[in-house]
Amino acid sequence: MAQPLKLGLFGFGTVGQGLYGVLNETRGLNAEIVRICVKDRQKQRPIAREHFTFEPSELLEDPELDVIVELIDTADEAFAIVQRALANGKAVVTANKKMVAEHLGELVELQQQYGVPLLYEAACAGSIPIVRNLEEYYDNDLLSSLSGVLNGTCNYILTRMYEESVDYAPVLADAQAKGFAESDPTLDVDGLDAKYKLVILTGHAFGTIPAPADVLTLGIRQASAHDFQFAREKGYKLQLEALSRRLPGERLASYVLPRFVRPSDLIHNVSQEFNGVVVEAAFAEQQFFMGKGAGSYPTASAVLSDISALSFSYKYSYKKRAQNAPLALDRDVTLRVYLRYPTGHEPVLEQLGVHNIEVRHSAEGVSYVIGRLQLGTLLSRHEELRHEPFFLALMPEQPELDQGEPAEAAAAEAVAARS
Amino acid sequence: MAQPLKLGLFGFGTVGQGLYGVLNETRGLNAEIVRICVKDRQKQRPIAREHFTFEPSELLEDPELDVIVELIDTADEAFAIVQRALANGKAVVTANKKMVAEHLGELVELQQQYGVPLLYEAACAGSIPIVRNLEEYYDNDLLSSLSGVLNGTCNYILTRMYEESVDYAPVLADAQAKGFAESDPTLDVDGLDAKYKLVILTGHAFGTIPAPADVLTLGIRQASAHDFQFAREKGYKLQLEALSRRLPGERLASYVLPRFVRPSDLIHNVSQEFNGVVVEAAFAEQQFFMGKGAGSYPTASAVLSDISALSFSYKYSYKKRAQNAPLALDRDVTLRVYLRYPTGHEPVLEQLGVHNIEVRHSAEGVSYVIGRLQLGTLLSRHEELRHEPFFLALMPEQPELDQGEPAEAAAAEAVAARS
């Protein structure tokens, strides 16, 4: 490759600026940013005005550019940019998880139609090379589950609540002040960001791309000091886990839920703004990947690695998707949960169909139960109940299964017991 | 790929049998073992006699075979097999770390000369896909260090010594009885196995393949309950760490040494027979990979993944080696060490050139110092002193650097301070 790759960049926020800095400090990579398209004509920029344009077509229609790097916030605009770039024969690198998750099927088709690659390692788990490992290394036939902590903001908040015994609101406010959480934290704390990442990773792990709306997603907004007191008493941590697990009969369980985590669990040590991913395969057993999940430089480094891969003609092959009939999302999965609510709000138990209650606890106006419910019921009802003051988290595998049973059977049974 | 890959297998020990089982249980992979070459004509085998031959040329000269899978113990015989297989235009998959480490430069040339690939993911850190990640994902320009726990046997022994406060000999005996350690444990407990893996990984991380003899390697044979008492008092664990770190001036520090590890260290949680690898890159910061480092099925799964990669025409490109002048191994690195010896054996301090002693401790016939020594001195002298009754381990970064200094500078300073 004699000629450097010529890049057109959309967006010049923290990641875009990080990428610009990283590219300038990297000898090895044969690529240069030719022009940057931004929206705000008034904003002061840290580099000279001549690098910028406000007209997308100056990048998208420029035959000199090989690659479009898309780093804007808005998913719909990003999708329009990516569509046009691919149609114009340009390779694309993006970090926009919402856009990729919502359009992954179409994006696979577009890549095949126009014969140009789209890479998005930066959209999933920051600097961890998980998309590429799922795509290249783990044979789908042997892969039983993919799970992990995929949102650094939630993990930062949960780590601080656990370590400092403080409540949700002040930790969120502090995280916002420090730039670890957005002023509108919805995408992060309601689990949507983790859901988008899970959708993409599930596509590369199993060849099936779940519709985001079908993935049960509860966040951490209702977590309180009560839940952390419970966690500490039991020797657990509380983490927001995203999981997709293959079930018998070509089915798939897929959800994002808070979960109480034992010290023996690989994600137990994922703290602060780190992300961690666990891949379970039949013969390799558990594999664990951990790295910074957010921040301008870790994300920029993933973008950079995709650019580097393009310079060696890398593309995702999506071979699992081509080889396999899609797995069906299973709603009939029984979950073992902890459900905490203000004493007196017991109707929520019936609304969520909680059954097989093992533990009922009530003290000083706060109650919790430990019992079971169906994934499908929760998926149908949780939206209408989202303003109800309850907090739900998965419990770890059943204690009685810890002894004697093979670990894998116990984990499979507990995480996704069929009713 | 219409035709299945036809494999010839050398060796039918635990990994070979694991591979045979894994291949038979895997639908997705288009490959079959046509014939297996073994040595012992008398040994009972778990599968029918017709699968076996005792004549290497029946595999190596068979034009029908596409791939030779080499899973024998002896490095020299393995190298002869691999040379002949490559010369005959056959792709090769091997798990033999000693053979690959000792001949990596030649093996790169042979692959280029004959235009066929050699893959050896199973030779490094069992089931962790680290060779491929270093080769494909981490740009060498941004990579500052590669380190980790690479020997599952040592880690198993050290974990049990730590958790049960028992001494080395009974734990080793028990590990041997359970099949976690060989009857001759030298390769593992003297750090040689970890060294071979480090040599290979260093080649893929930095493009420089160190000569195994130039990599300072001390094992855990002399570890005792005294050292674990020290570790517990300080809040450390003791692990055998392999490390290669890029130093200023196109130099490289590379060694395998026991190290006291803080809870904040990523490898702190690598316990039992697991392996863990930490990759430090300028912008991605620390990335951590963990998985089973030994055992027939984890190793077989790495072999299987290489076979799968061959079916998609994958090969290592060794581009860092082609792009870069080799880094020189730096002997002039100052190490901060803990050195424990029987009181009265103080001459060992002078023999090893221990200086800047911060702590001297002596009680009940056992002494230790904390001080500094030069990597080069230790490399020159440790062979002649190997029967001396001392135990040496690296200390973590200096306490005074924990406060205020940027973490990266502190770590770099501590791990590889230039004198």
- pLDDT value for B399: 53
> To the nearest whole angstrom, how far is the Cα of A96 from the nearest Cα of chain B?
18
Instruction: State residue A284 phi and psi, 5-degree precision.
Output: -75, -10
CB contact under 8 A, B291 and A291: no
Report pLDDT digits (tens) over B1-18: 457 899 999 999 988 998
Give the range with max mean pLDDT: A26-30, A57-61, A309-313, B166-170: A57-61
What is the pLDDT averaged over residues A8-37?
88
Nearest-by-Cβ selection for B291 from A25, A286, A309: A286
Comparing alpha-carbon positions, the chain A residue that sits nearest to B313 is A136
Report pLDDT digits (tens) over B233-272: 999 999 999 999 999 999 999 999 999 999 989 999 999 9
Count how many pairs of residues, chain A against chain B, have C-beta atoms within 8 Å.
Answer: 138
- pLDDT value for A417: 39
- pLDDT value for A409: 38
Give contacts of B142 with chain A, Cβ < 8 Å: 22, 26, 28, 301, 304
Give contacts of A301 with chain B, Cβ < 8 Å: 142, 281-284
Nearest-by-Cβ selection for B142 from A26, A137, A292: A26
- pLDDT value for B252: 96
Report pLDDT digits (tens) over A140-174: 667 999 999 999 999 999 999 999 988 999 999 99
Catalytic residue among A90, A97, A195, A197: A197
What is the pLDDT averaged over residues B202-219?
96
- pLDDT value for A399: 53
Confidence at A181, pLDDT banded by 50, 70, 90: confident
Confidence at B141, pLDDT banded by 50, 70, 90: low
Nearest-by-Cβ selection for B137 from A25, A288, A305: A305
Comparing alpha-carbon positions, the chain B residue that sits nearest to A296 is B283
Report how far residue A300's alpha carbon sits from residue A21's, in angstroms, rounded to the nearest whole number: 9
Confidence at A99, pLDDT banded by 50, 70, 90: very high
CB contact under 8 A, A290 and B292: no
Report pLDDT digits (tens) over B113-140: 999 999 999 999 888 999 999 998 886 6
> To the nearest whole angstrom, how far is the Cα of B287 from the nearest Cα of chain A?
5
Beta strand ranges found along B38-134 (DSSP E): 52-53, 67-70, 91-94, 118-119
Q: Which of A280, A241, A258, A308 is nearest to A5 (CA)?
A: A308
Instruction: Tell me: pLDDT of B355 over 60.
Output: yes
**Under a CB-based contact definition with an 8 Å cutoff, are residues A69 and A7 in contact?**
yes
R_g of chain A, CA atoms, integer Å:
22
Q: Between residues B241 and A135, which one has the greater pLDDT?
A: B241
> To the nearest whole angstrom, how far is the Cα of B283 from the nearest Cα of chain A?
5
Give contacts of B289 with chain A, Cβ < 8 Å: 287-290
Give contacts of B266 with chain A, Cβ < 8 Å: 290
**Under a CB-based contact definition with an 8 Å cutoff, are residues B361 and B371 in contact?**
no
What is the pLDDT averaged over residues A344-370?
96
Give contacts of A302 with chain B, Cβ < 8 Å: 284
CB contact under 8 A, A292 and B286: yes
Confidence at B382, pLDDT banded by 50, 70, 90: confident
Instruction: Tell me: pLDDT of B67 over 90.
Output: yes
Q: Which of A278, A280, A283, A306 has the most B C-beta neighbours within 10 Å, making it the best mutation to test the interface with B?
A: A283
Confidence at B347, pLDDT banded by 50, 70, 90: very high
Give contacts of A138 with chain B, Cβ < 8 Å: 305
Report how far residue B69's alpha carbon sits from residue A345's, in angstroms, rounded to the nearest whole number: 64
Give contacts of A132 with chain B, Cβ < 8 Å: 136-137
> To the nearest whole angstrom, how far is the Cα of A357 from the nearest Cα of chain B?
35
Instruction: Tell me: pLDDT of B151 over 80.
Output: yes
Asked which of A14-23, A205-214, B182-191 is least confident by mean pLDDT, the reply is A14-23
Report how far residue B146's alpha carbon sits from residue B310's, in angstroms, rounded to the nearest whole number: 26
Report how far residue B163's alpha carbon sits from residue A416's, in angstroms, rounded to the nearest whole number: 33
What is the pLDDT averaged over residues A77-88?
98
Half-sphere exposure of residue B165: CA atoms within 13 angstroms, side-chain side: 4
Instruction: Tell me: pLDDT of B173 over 90.
Output: yes
> To the nearest whole angstrom, how far is the Cα of A130 from the nearest Cα of chain B?
10
CB contact under 8 A, A302 and B286: no
Half-sphere exposure of residue A334: CA atoms within 13 angstroms, side-chain side: 14
Between strands B67-70 and B5-10, the pairing is: parallel
- pLDDT value for A5: 93
CB contact under 8 A, A298 and B285: yes
- pLDDT value for B249: 92
Nearest-by-Cβ selection for A137 from B29, B292, B305: B305
What is the pLDDT averaged over residues B74-85?
97
Nearest-by-Cβ selection for A289 from B281, B289, B302: B289
Q: Between residues A23 and B134, which one has the greater pLDDT?
A: B134
- pLDDT value for A191: 96
**Under a CB-based contact definition with an 8 Å cutoff, are residues A129 and B133 in contact?**
yes
Asked which of A327-341, A373-387, B284-298, B316-330 is least confident by mean pLDDT, the reply is B284-298
Report how far residue A32's alpha carbon sits from residue A55's, in angstroms, rounded to the nearest whole number: 20
What is the pLDDT averaged over residues A104-123?
97
Q: Which of A24, A25, A128, A137 has the most B C-beta neighbours within 10 Å, making it the best mutation to test the interface with B?
A: A137
Report how far residue B187's alpha carbon sits from residue A56's, in angstroms, rounded to the nearest whole number: 61
Comparing alpha-carbon positions, the chain B residue that sits nearest to A26 is B141
Nearest-by-Cβ selection for B137 from A26, A132, A284: A132
- DSSP summary character for residue A15: H
> To the nearest whole angstrom, how far is the Cα of A215 from the nearest Cα of chain B?
27
Nearest-by-Cβ selection for A287 from B128, B269, B286: B128
CB contact under 8 A, B28 and A323: yes
Report how far residue B316's alpha carbon sits from residue B329's, in angstroms, rounded to the nearest whole number: 24
Q: Which residues of B are catalytic?
A: 197
Instruction: Tell me: pLDDT of A233 over 70.
Output: yes
Comparing alpha-carbon positions, the chain B residue that sits nearest to A129 is B137
Does residue A197 carry a catalytic annotation?
yes
Give contacts of B288 with chain A, Cβ < 8 Å: 288-291
Give the range with max mean pLDDT: A381-395, B57-71, B170-184: B57-71
> To the nearest whole angstrom, how far is the Cα of B299 from the nearest Cα of chain A?
8
Spell out the residues 6+ positions from residue A340 whose beta carbon is closer than 8 angstroms to its own: A224, A226, A227, A230, A366, A367, A368, A390, A391, A392
Spell out the residues 6+ positions from residue B254 whose beta carbon is closer than 8 angstroms to its own: B198, B202, B210, B214, B215, B216, B243, B244, B245, B329
Comparing alpha-carbon positions, the chain B residue that sits nearest to A314 is B136
- pLDDT value for A415: 41
Nearest-by-Cβ selection for A284 from B127, B137, B314: B127
R_g of chain B, CA atoms, integer Å:
22
Report how far residue B294's alpha carbon sits from residue A286's, in angstroms, rounded to the nearest whole number: 13
Report pLDDT digits (tens) over A270-312: 998 899 999 998 777 899 999 987 777 888 889 998 998 998 8
3-state secondary structure of A35: strand
Give contacts of A309 with chain B, Cβ < 8 Å: 136
Comparing alpha-carbon positions, the chain B residue that sits nearest to A140 is B28
Q: Which long-range contacts (CB under 8 A, 24 or more apart) does B75-81 make?
A: B75/B99, B75/B102, B78/B10, B79/B103, B81/B10, B81/B56
